[in-house]
Amino acid sequence: MGYNRPESKWLARDAMRGAYPHPMLVTLMYVLLTGVLSSVVLNFVSEPFQAAYFYLTETNYEVEEILTAIFTPQRIAVILVMELLLALYSWVMDYGYTSYSLRLARREGPSYRNLLDGFYTIGRALAVNFLSALFVFLWGLIGMAVYVGFVFLAYLMHSVTLIFVGALIMLVWMIAISYRYRLAVYFLLDHP
């Protein structure tokens, strides 16, 4: 028995048609809560980079003076902490949006509050995303080792083509590894 694509599309459209609130509105809310919020926060946090660019291009200060005045250890720490907090927030919101999508497909009456499901089980939501990212990184080290081997071989043989072959192998490897852990959130939602 094969996969019936037209029937699956029809079932998905039917599920979306009967849903309240409309899935496009929920998706818009998700994009506003994640993308726009992250952009606004990072715009204020990354202001030092814009200031450094301005001083480098428009003034006669030395590069070292500008960088030591703008990029203080405290400012770099704030940038790193904000990046970490936004990544954690994004993981939790992704968990909630996945919960909404799964409930929509199962016709369980999803709503806007399902976007916040990740906050109800914040430990599990963060743990599954952290472990997935960790395992993708660790498995990615194998792909990186293969790439470094190809670069070393390319250096010995004076061949640029081997660098591209190694990069292609690493890219395919990383995509395959990331797909291995892609459904971890769905498994957690099914079997908490």
pLDDT value for 1:
59
* Three-point CA angle 182, 127, 120, nearest 5°: 100
Residue 191 has what pLDDT?
83
Instruction: Give the per-residue pLDDT at 13.
Output: 80
pLDDT values of the chain reduced to their tens digit, one per residue, 192 residues: 577 888 888 877 877 777 788 888 999 999 999 998 888 887 777 677 777 888 888 888 888 888 888 888 888 888 889 889 999 999 999 999 999 999 988 888 888 999 999 999 999 999 999 999 999 999 999 989 999 998 999 999 988 898 999 899 999 999 999 999 999 999 999 887
Q: Report the C-alpha gap between 171 and 154 in whole angstroms.
A: 18
User: Distance between CA atoms of 116 and 95, rounded to whole angstroms?
Assistant: 8
The amino acid sitting at 32 is L
How many Å apart are CA 130 and CA 80, to the nearest integer? Answer: 17
Q: Which 3 state secondary structure label does DSSP give 159?
A: coil
Residue 188 CB coordination number (10 Å): 18
Look at the pTM and tell me if it is higher than 0.75: yes
What are 186-190's contacts with CB under 8 Å, separation 24+? Answer: 186/98, 186/102, 188/124, 188/125, 188/128, 189/98, 189/99, 189/102
Contact 11, 106 (CB under 8 A): no
